[in-house]
Chain A
Amino acid sequence: GIQVEQSPPDLILQEGANSTLRCNFSDSVNNLQWFHQNPWGQLINLFYIPSGTKQNGRLSATTVATERYSLLYISSSQTTDSGVYFCAAYNTDKLIFGTGTRLQVFP
């Protein structure tokens, strides 16, 4: 089955710093989605991004499907960005989640 790997597993930043999170997937996937799980456990949609680049405020994502990876960029990080970031690749109707990147942003 599809394997989804994320790196780095942990990331510690000071407020204002930029970061790049990576998601590699092992096989052809239909589409890809990025989520943020906040410290209260809620999973929040960030991007649905089968290919190309999307931006939403300080966050942007790029997926290069032919090379089987996606990147999530966080600029000018804030303490509210803390939590776990998951990418999930679609295999037909099923979402396969990566193991996540745990981000801690300190003031």
Chain B
Amino acid sequence: SAVISQKPSRDICQRGTSLTIQCQVDSQVTMMFWYRQQPGQSLTLIATANQGSEATYESGFVIDKFPISRPNLTFSTLTVSNMSPEDSSIYLCSVGEYSGANVLTFGAGSRLTVL
């Protein structure tokens, strides 16, 4: 399965600032996703990162707040903009393949605390 490098692993940020999280995969993958997991909760899909086009956002998430880039098949970024304490969460990059297995693999996550 793909090996994912996600950074930063954690950060503490001030209210009103923005943070960009990077996700690097060791192989070309068809699909890349960004998830949020708040304390004690399950994963919530933020968006699907599409290579060469705008990301597809889930209900409740908008591009202005969570701009996403995916310049190629191995790399994506998620920016959390104009942060507030409610954005404190773990953000996870995930990749999947249209293969028979259809397995999702996750990065180690980025733990964000907004003061």
Q: Do A and B bind each other?
A: no
Residues of A within 8 A of B (CB): none
Residues of B within 8 A of A (CB): none
